[in-house]
Chains A and B, each alone.
Chain A
Amino acid sequence: MESLRQSQYVSSDLEPVRSCHYRTVSGLDFTHSAMGGRMIQVVDANDDSRVKSAGLIDLSLLPRVGYRGKGVESFLSSQGIAVPNKPNRAAISPDGELVLRLSLTEFWVLGSLKDLGRSVMELPRQHTQTPASCYPLFCEDSHACFVLTGEHIANVMAKLCAVNLREDAFPVGHIAQTSVARTSCIVVRHQVEGVPCFMLLSDATAGEYMLGILLDALTEYQGGLCGTACLI
């Protein structure tokens, strides 16, 4: 990651992808990175305790893809991906992908950390490669992706979002498309190894802003950034 930070050029073993906020993340103290610098694997020795209490993981560069159109549901089924039966619900595929249904006709598939999104990378990105009425979306580039983890996440989000995201009102598998800190955001509740999580997808170009807001909100609970290794 040091090389990525300093060099003008891209070294040959790294894929030349960077999020709009990668410098804010890479400015923090961490030791390892995963997927050619795409993600932070470990931040420090406190990762595990932090992730259970109030953690934040940046998955902006974990592959994902979305599709919209009348033909998407059957297309995804043909790819062996089961979809939630109603809008604003999420399901987890056997490979660990999170499948979001955002409307009757819009679906996003978020790559799994288990395979670092490799199976999602296989899915087509061009509308010329998909059946009729099945248009790939651009969520890999248009959105940043953060995961809030731990027992305090509902309190953290209560400072940023007017929708009731506490577990009794917003159980695992529910999606809220709403405003978080005055920025449009998709909030998904799920759970990894018993740890409650919110997946947050918001405008990529406001990624640095959102990162700052989330870290500020986590301070009250001594929370902060964690590495992806915590979720694998």
Chain B
Amino acid sequence: MNNPAPVFRDRLPEPMGLMLERQKTVEFIFEGERITGIKGDTLGSALLANQQWVWSRSFKYHRPRGPLTLAGHDANSLVQLPNEPNALADRVPAIDGLDVTGQNVNGSVKKDKDAVLNHFGRFMPVGFYYRAFYKPKGVWDWWEKQIRVKAGLGIADLKFKPEYYDKAFLHHDLVVVGSGPAGMMAALKAADAGADVLLLEEHTLLGGSLAYSEFSDCNNPEQLRQELMAKVRQHANITVMTEAVCNAWFTDNWLPVLQGKRLYKVRAKQCIMVTGAYEQHVVFRGNDIPGVIFSSAVMRLMKLYAVKPGERAAVLTGNEDGYLTALMLNRQGIQLCAVIDMRQASELSHTEKNLVDQLHQKGVQVRFGQTVYEAKGSQRLEFIEVRAITSPGEVSASLETIPCDLLCMSAGYMPAYQLICQAGGQLSYDDQRAAFSLRNLPDNLYIAGSVNGIHRLSAVMKDGERAAIEALNALELSDEAVPDVFCDQKVNFHWPIFKHPKGKDFVDFDEDLQVKDIVNATRMGYRDIQLVKRFSTVGMGPSQGRHSALPTARLVAKATQRTVSETGVTTARPPLTPEKLAYMAGRGFDPYRLTSMHYRHLELGAKMIPAGLWMRPAFYPKEGQRLTGSAASPLLLQARNIRNACIENESLHVRTKVGLIDVSTLGGIELRGPDAAELMNRIYTFGFLKQPVGKTRYAVLTNEQGVVIDDGVACRFDEDHFYVTATTTGVDNVYRLMTFWNTQWQLDVDITNVSSAYAAVNLAGPDSRKVLEGLTDLDLSREGFPYLACREGFLNVPGCEHKIPARFLRVGFVGELGYELHVPSRYGEVLWDILMAAGQPFDIKPFGVETQRLLRLEKGHIIIGQDTDGMSHPSEVSLGWAVSKKKPYFNGCRAVDIVMKRPQTRKLVGFRLSAEYLVQNQKPEEGHIVLSDTGSDSSITGNVTSCEYSPTANAIIGMAYVGIEQSEEGGQFPIRVDGGSVVMASVVSLPFYDKEQTRQEA
């Protein structure tokens, strides 16, 4: 590396090239060509150092495009990386070996076969796609494919292995967005007063414009930058994040900040937006030819990367920055062939006159009141045609054509308004200054520097301190008087738009929109700026109106005879810059819950299904029947057969022997205190005041609209102690409802959600008593522990001294002799082991949720949420018996009373299909509709809620909502099943199984 590569000789001498480590080279591939750069280069600066000025092709006309902002603010610099489309060439560091290609290109960026589109521009007017392809019907389907091929933006690499992206939260007293001179001054001022400050910078270097720009009131901006930076870096109260983009503003200063592979969610008590301003272009024909570039971009190119921007340069300006650029070019030995000021000499300020004198001393003459009317060149700028400005937007005959390969534009600035407008700030246009400024800032948000319309460096720095004082006062860290900051520097030329009869005078480079496109949109009646945007697509490209918003507002205002303030700009919604999906799709949080017996189910080969946040065993296939992957899809016949066989076997086993199911996911609420019964009575529909101790009672909950929303079993273990179960997914809601009312009633009762604290099983089947005998000291006899009783006791652990405290409930959900056992969750797995071991002599088998659903269907028990919907009131599901008619109040009682007085229109009934449907395998599914009759004009009267083949009944049975006139026992009603055919179902009385209820009461 001691022999500098040829590329080194082309670079400007130090101190130019702030970013460069001149001893190290990098090599990468662009469009198949080897590019050598210096470490610190971006892809873009290395390309320019190698005279590669064509970076991409434009979106619509496929015109060659090159650098514009060199700040990552335009779409011209979008290139394709191996696994990332739309990378910004002027932001991505040059890395050895990287293979970079152009985008939106048919062929290569230099020879794009689609460049022919450039000549068909007049056939593609504004709104072209909307207007050309909608007739005849269906033609769009063909056109869309063609257009997508031509208009794509990069290629996604679908084989790319995702990387680890995540999110983190940050909290600061003050967040300063932007580390320019105002930002650093604000951060230092605030940090000195004790505020905890976060300073955000989107670029690699701190300092904003200090790093690349020139100032009429500062001879050595780099020295100033180094001084400020040292203070900022050393300050204990300042955290600095570089290459960190604040991508939006959300309520209460909630700022998403992208840095590396992490999305930070930053909460700022106070926020100062020091986002700067975007330089604006001059609109003239050919203003997109590579070589026509912003003054600020040329300064960046020289100062940051030491790249010589051209051999013969011209400057087109409307403010002092053009002169500063010209002087810089001159100092770096670049020939200045023209310096053109759009203003008259008389309009110049004292400072600007000084700059003109300096140029004169270097032998450079300045032209006043003139503009570039057209730029020419195919792949790179070759000539500019200069004309005199006769009135705003109007020009004289051609004065001169000047050969040059670089044209620097300084037409003014647009405040970087997006984040501030998201926060509620409003833009208003000052005709005098020909500039937008921001008003109506929300609380806790301040702006400073050029975004605040202040451009003179000394004033910018004072403005930063001023904003810090405001933020400090709000933080109550100071009570300093807020100083006034004044700056009269005018930076915007009032009308830098020169329409050309032949067009290609671009307003929006991303979308290839010319002056006539904007004007024509208004002529078609789209007067509102939002409609102009949607019709013409102005501002919808990757640069999101940074450079098109201001000229568009001016053009629309003029075309519709309104002020620019009235016209305004379009809404700038988040995100500010394109956001990788990886930030959203990266590590997220998907909580899941496991019962304490979860791994026992897995060991037994259970087919697990989700239930809310839980995983539950659906059924237990035998070894050899376990299907995984797509073969386990319930849509496949084999999987369905295994499921049906398992459910049949498990259900018959429970009916004839004994089965065990994990019901730990049940909700549980503990009510203790003198008013426990009173609370139960006010919440649930039934009466609970007189519920005997040691008994359970069915508890139904209605909402304020009288709809059944939950059910459970209420156990009274003591006068002042209830334990009530709730549905798996409903318990949080029930708990919230109970605490809500008791916050108002102030009853003397403690309400605790114990859902996670208890593991539970249901031991069911004729042999269940035998399994339990010997495991507990409780009297398990029919008389000692009858049906619907509940007990608190202990379960012995065989082989050790320990006893497990347990709650025993004799419930009949599946319709057999059975015991629900609830134990503290840390004993859950041991409970399962004990019962499976004790049940071995009785051939105990586990059963799953799907089997349980069949068993309870055979008993005609409803499941809330499956057999009820958002309208089901108690009578419709035959729960009128569970509604107390006497007690003064329960939740939703008035609504229940009102709906129960009305004539009932539908009812949930049990139904049975005749044997023929079993043979034909025409089983209705949940959700299939019930019809009023079989005629062609029949109406829908209800729907199936549960349906299954019952091996016990040897028939297809189910429950369905039917019209009240169809609900009579013995009647028939039609169900429309898959494929549109209709099956006839007979209404039968519930339950289907053991109508005498002797089995569960055994």
Contacts and interface: CB of A to CB of B under 8 A. Distances in A.
Assess A/B contact in the complex (Cβ within 8 A).
yes
Interface of A: 8-21, 23, 61, 68-69, 127-128, 133, 135, 137-143, 155, 158-164, 166, 168-169, 181-183, 203-209, 213, 216
Contacts of B748: 133
Nearest to A142: B757
B166 A17 contact: no
B265 A162 contact: yes
B826 A140 contact: yes
Nearest to A160: B589
A49 B281 CA distance: 59
A163 B265 CA distance: 11
A141 B756 contact: yes
A128 B595 CA distance: 28
B587 A216 contact: yes
A141 to B, nearest CB: 4
Contact of A135 (B596, B752, B756, B826): B752
Interface in B740-779: 748, 750, 752, 754-758
Contacts of B673: 133, 135
Interface in B803-844: 804, 824-830, 833, 836-837
A127 B593 contact: no
Contact of A12 (B170, B265, B664, B799): B799
Contacts of B750: 68-69, 135
Nearest to A138: B757
B123 interface: no
Contacts of A169: 171
B757 A204 contact: yes
Given A17-B827, A18-B596, A208-B594, A159 B168 contact: yes
A142 B833 contact: no
**Shortest beta-carbon contacts, A-B, top 9:** A138-B757, A142-B757, A164-B171, A141-B757, A16-B830, A205-B593, A12-B800, A17-B826, A135-B750
Contacts of B757: 138-142, 204
Given A68-B752, A135-B750, A10 B797 contact: yes
A205 B587 contact: no
Contacts of B129: none
Contacts of B752: 68, 135, 137-138
Contact of B595 (A13, A20, A133): A20
B824 A138 contact: yes
Contact of A8 (B595, B801, B828, B837): B837
B134 interface: no
B742 to A, nearest CB: 13
Contacts of B828: 18, 20
A125 to B, nearest CB: 9
24 contacts: A9-B799, A11-B799, A12-B800, A20-B594, A20-B828, A127-B721, A138-B670, A138-B757, A138-B758, A140-B757, A141-B825, A142-B754, A142-B825, A159-B166, A168-B196, A169-B171, A203-B593, A204-B757, A205-B595, A208-B592, A209-B591, A209-B592, A209-B594, A216-B587
Contacts of A139: 757
Tell me which of B171, B196, B664, B718 has the highest count of chain A C-beta atoms within 10 A of its own C-beta: B171
Given A18-B829, A143-B756, A166-B171, 12 more contacts: A12-B799, A16-B830, A20-B598, A20-B828, A61-B826, A137-B752, A141-B824, A142-B825, A164-B169, A182-B591, A205-B593, A206-B594
B802 interface: yes
B672 A158 contact: no
A142 B756 CA distance: 5
Interface string B157-194: 00000000011111100000000000000000000000
A206 B802 contact: no
B4 interface: no
B599 interface: yes
A158 B555 CA distance: 48
A155 to B, nearest CB: 8
Contacts of B830: 10, 16-18
B758 A141 contact: yes
What secondary structure prevails in chain A residues at the interface with B?
loop
- Give the interface centre of B587, B718, B756 by most chain A CB atoms within 10 Å: B756
A138 B750 CA distance: 13
B798 interface: yes
A208 B589 CA distance: 13
Contacts of B829: 18
A161 B721 CA distance: 37
Nearest to B587: A216
A168 B169 CA distance: 16
A204 B673 CA distance: 26
A140 to B, nearest CB: 7
Contacts of B672: 127, 135
Contact of A204 (B166, B598, B614, B825): B825
A218 B969 CA distance: 64
B804 A16 contact: yes
B53 to A, nearest CB: 42
Nearest to B603: A8
Contacts of B798: 9
A18 B594 CA distance: 13
B589 A213 contact: yes
A209 to B, nearest CB: 5
B624 to A, nearest CB: 23
A12 B801 contact: yes
A2 to B, nearest CB: 16
B45 to A, nearest CB: 33
A75 to B, nearest CB: 14
A142 B596 CA distance: 11
A191 to B, nearest CB: 21
Nearest to A217: B166
A143 to B, nearest CB: 8
A159 B591 contact: no
Contacts of A133: 673, 748
Interface in B673-700: 673
Contacts of A204: 756-757, 825
Contacts of B166: 159
Contact of A16 (B592, B614, B721, B800): B800
A138 B797 CA distance: 22
B593 A182 contact: no
Contacts of B755: 142
B588 to A, nearest CB: 9
Contacts of A14: 800
Contact of B826 (A18, A164, A182, A209): A18
Contacts of B799: 9-12
Given A135-B752, A203-B756, A182 B589 contact: yes
Contacts of A163: 169
B797 A16 contact: yes
B168 A158 contact: yes
Nearest to A204: B756
Contacts of A61: 826
Given A18-B830, A135-B752, A138-B757, A206 B593 contact: yes
Interface in B189-237: 196
A213 B166 CA distance: 12
A207 B593 CA distance: 8
Nearest to B802: A16
Contacts of B824: 138, 140-141
Contacts of A160: 589
Given A9-B833, A11-B800, A16-B800, A159 B721 contact: no
A164 B198 CA distance: 15
A21 B598 CA distance: 10
Interface in B358-388: none
Contact of A19 (B196, B592, B826): B826
Contacts of A143: 756
A13 B799 CA distance: 10
Contacts of A203: 593, 756
B721 A181 contact: no
A13 B673 CA distance: 38
The interface centre, meaning the residue of B167, B613, B757, B824 with most chain A CB atoms within 10 A of its CB, is B757
